[in-house]
Structure 1
Amino acid sequence: MSENEQTTLKNKLDSIQQKARERTVKTQNVEYDLETLIKRIDLKTLKLDPEYQRRHRWSPETSSRLIESLILNIPIPVIFISQDIDVDDEAEISTSRYTVIDGQQRLTAMYGFLKGEYSLVGLQTLAELNGSFYKDLPPFLIRRLEERTIKCLRIDSTVDAQVKFDIFERLNTGSVKLEAQELRNATARGPFNELIKVLAEFPAFRALIQIKGSNPEDNPKVQKMEDAELVLRFFALKEGKFRQLKKGFKDFLTDALVELNKLDDATRNGLAEEFKIYINFLLNFAGNTAFAKLRYETGGVKQMSSFNASVYDAVLVGLSESYTASDLQINSEAIAAKLSGYQTLFNNIDFFNSVSGSVNDAAKVATRIEAMMAYLKR
């Protein structure tokens, strides 16, 4: 370090010391037996799914291996929990006293098995237990599971909420990679972030993005929050904002969500209703493969996929750029006639290229949306 750099560092010493005091995290090592943890989750004194957590993504095989490790007394990683209410404070019995910061997937797997939600599969060491639900285990294994202690690191109740989110992000760096929307869910919290998660469950929307009504939680789009990201894509690109895409698409969506979180309740609710109108219109007049990707070949047209995110951009955003939600309600038949046959756009090489390859390139995003707009205004 040069002399000038050393001088600069000394001048910043007060600031460094202040930050170190403010950001130092007080922790305490605690252990709970599994039966106690399950009871805390049932009583809601331990919050398993805070807003910044990812959705449960473990497969039955992964969950089963964790249960096998518990039975065999194999050590598992420490679970991080935050103390939200001081242990001496009075609170309603159902008030969350602790929140899981890291370990949600493990706790969900444990809770699900002890509640009989799945049977063990894919075990090798204890292969005899494959197909067994919790209730099917011999009594000595049930006791062993219930009495198995789980190591937790409890973070002090005085720690600022933002610091807890920072801890969550740091703990997840280098582990199972967070998808882009999962990370936004942690770092761009707010009312619009909550809204897009609600809109992602809209039945007509799920039909269009090929999420079946039965067991949607098993669909990878739901597990990785890709459904919520698709909702965000629409709001981020509409009203000509797709032409403002300059930097990376991930950052563009994150910046958009930060701004959308600032909207007032009335505006936010209005946008939600508009979204539903566009979605219902497309499902009614274009069917549940409205966002399919096609290829024109000698002798006919081939469907390459039943859903494609870049086609989604073109069709949904292109429609919203051409007609208001009120237009769709007043002149639905006439606009449906305009929409009819838009699949012929795939016969245009520029359009096809815009939904292929590096589809989030700014030029490609603009090309496909403007092509749809031109088709609708022909």
Structure 2
Amino acid sequence: MKKQKGLALIKSDGEIEQAESQIVELSKRIEFYLTEYSVELLASKMNKGEFVVPSYQREYTWEQDRKSRFIESLILGLPIPFLFFWEMPDGRLEIVDGSQRLRSIEEFVLGDLRLGELQSLTALSGFKFSDLPESRQRKINNRSIRGIVLNEHADEQARFDMFERINTGSKIANMAEVRRGALAGPFMDLIIELSVLPKFVALAPVSKKDLNEREHEELVARFFAYSDGLEGYKDRPSEFIFNYVKKMNVEAANDPALAARYRTRFQEAIDFIEQVFPYGFRRALKGKATPRARFEAIAVGSRLALDERPDLTNEDIDDVTPWLTSDDFTTVTGSDGANAIARLRERTGFVRNRLLGE
């Protein structure tokens, strides 16, 4: 029983035991060791394919200036963030975080990367590695970068958790990249297939950056996960969607007809949204972005309405513009506490109820 002491609550023995048990259980998934590599060895291992860039990692997107700034930091001996790897069963290391840095090192040391305009080492602007005297090449090659390696017993969720925590504050699209690689399977294949449907892409425009980070896959995954029910949702969308896709991969493998059913669910909703919502998921006719909370409200709310009334069409619905531009809709799709389950249900229920006239 909890006892009040001042303003604090004293935890019961049962609560303390449950917390300790959870720490022990989750800690079992995290087994790692520290390592340190010279720049020369890092470049060599990248070149030989001993470091594996997984499919969920984005393309080599660093622009020339960013590569040059990183190499400048390396030459100056400034601290370089840890590299994170997962030890694959065959002994190679999958890059969990650091692929852009590693590819820049390989391109500079073994390739033809020519440094751009540098901020500190201005005299090195325009240099390639081969332009440097051998003494400086050796000094650069001898510099080391530390790494953390999750061993092969770490499961998919452990790798996912590590990537998420490393990238705290980054866009959750990165999680779409992780799911693509860590959760390969028939349901993930369906998500990828639907994410490039021309009609969907037209209704849900995203920036070039978000497109490269697979934002459309993230939106499709959210549509299925949230419209399929929120059992087990604990205000952590990345973990919830990861577990949902993992479960659906298994179900789709055991039921060959499942993919067709879910494809139809998605396409019906998109066709309906195209007919009913004048701007699709955009805020305005010429909008170039798809806010996630707005997408969830419209996409999931529409699917819930169609589940209730499969024969629902635009002819049964009054103009949605008045409530779509109302303060109430703006409030329920606001960013404040957007991932809380109550807010998620509120915004999807808002659209469902308006479409059904309730």
TM-score, scaled to structure 1: 0.61
Please, what is the CA RMSD of the aligned residues? 5.0
Supply the AA of the counterpart residue of 1:248. D
The secondary structure found in structure 2 opposite 1:100 is strand
Supply the AA of the counterpart residue of 2:260. G
* Per-residue CA distance 1:67-119 (angstroms, 9 max, x = gap): 222344555345344443567xxxxxxxxx33224422312444566798987
Q: What does 1:254-293 correspond to in 2, within 5 Å?
A: 256-265=244-253, 266-271=256-261, 273-274=263-264, 277-278=267-268, 281=271, 285=275, 289-293=279-283
Mind listing any 5+ residue stretches in structure 2 that lack a counterpart? 1-12
**How far apart, in 1, do the equivalents of 2:270 and 2:344 lie?**
28
Supply the AA of the counterpart residue of 2:295. Y
Q: What does 1:159-174 correspond to in 2, within 5 Å?
A: 159-162=152-155, 166=158, 169-170=161-162, 173=165
- Alignment counterpart, residue 74 of structure 2, candidates 63, 66, 70: 70
Describe the shift of the 1:154–1:115 C-alpha distance in structure 2 as closer, same or farther (beyond 3 A).
Answer: same
Deviation at 1:315, TM superposition (A): 2.8
Partner of 2:321: 343
Is contact 1:204-1:279 (8 Å) kept?
A: no
- Alignment counterpart, residue 140 of structure 1, candidates 115, 128, 131: 131
* Per-residue CA distance 1:289-338 (angstroms, 9 max, x = gap): 311226xxxxxxx98875333332233223333447xx7xxx9xx93555
Supply the AA of the counterpart residue of 2:202. A
* Per-residue CA distance 1:213-246 (angstroms, 9 max, x = gap): xxx4xx13643x543332122112225x36x697
Mind listing any 5+ residue stretches in structure 1 that lack a counterpart? 88-96, 295-301
Partner of 2:353: 371
Aligned residues: 323
Q: What does 1:118-267 correspond to in 2, within 5 Å?
A: 123-127=118-122, 137=128, 139-141=130-132, 148-149=141-142, 151=145, 153=147, 155=149, 159-162=152-155, 166=158, 169-170=161-162, 173=165, 177=169, 179-180=171-172, 182=174, 189-190=182-183, 191=185, 192-193=187-188, 195-211=190-206, 216=208, 219-220=209-210, 222-223=212-213, 226-238=215-227, 241=229, 247-248=234-235, 250=237, 253=241, 256-265=244-253, 266-267=256-257
The secondary structure found in structure 1 opposite 2:80 is coil
The secondary structure found in structure 2 opposite 1:70 is helix
Matched, 1:40 2:48: yes
Describe the shift of the 1:198–1:179 C-alpha distance in structure 2 as closer, same or farther (beyond 3 A).
Answer: farther
The secondary structure found in structure 1 opposite 2:251 is coil
- Alignment counterpart, residue 307 of structure 1, candidates 290, 311, 318: 290
Describe the shift of the 1:335–1:118 C-alpha distance in structure 2 as closer, same or farther (beyond 3 A).
Answer: farther
Describe the shift of the 1:207–1:230 C-alpha distance in structure 2 as closer, same or farther (beyond 3 A).
Answer: same
Describe the shift of the 1:55–1:173 C-alpha distance in structure 2 as closer, same or farther (beyond 3 A).
Answer: farther
**How far apart, in 2, do the equivalents of 1:110 and 1:269 lie?**
42
Is contact 1:313-1:369 (8 Å) kept?
A: no
Supply the AA of the counterpart residue of 2:67. S
Supply the AA of the counterpart residue of 1:39. N
Is contact 1:318-1:372 (8 Å) kept?
A: no
**How far apart, in 2, do the equivalents of 1:282 and 1:114 lie?**
54
TM-score, scaled to structure 2: 0.64
* Per-residue CA distance 1:41-61 (angstroms, 9 max, x = gap): 4xxx4211265x577775654
Deviation at 1:173, TM superposition (A): 3.7
The secondary structure found in structure 2 opposite 1:291 is coil
Describe the shift of the 1:362–1:64 C-alpha distance in structure 2 as closer, same or farther (beyond 3 A).
Answer: same
Supply the AA of the counterpart residue of 2:210. P
* Per-residue CA distance 1:158-187 (angstroms, 9 max, x = gap): x4142x863674586466545445458658
**How far apart, in 2, do the equivalents of 1:117 and 1:316 lie?**
47
Describe the shift of the 1:165–1:315 C-alpha distance in structure 2 as closer, same or farther (beyond 3 A).
Answer: closer
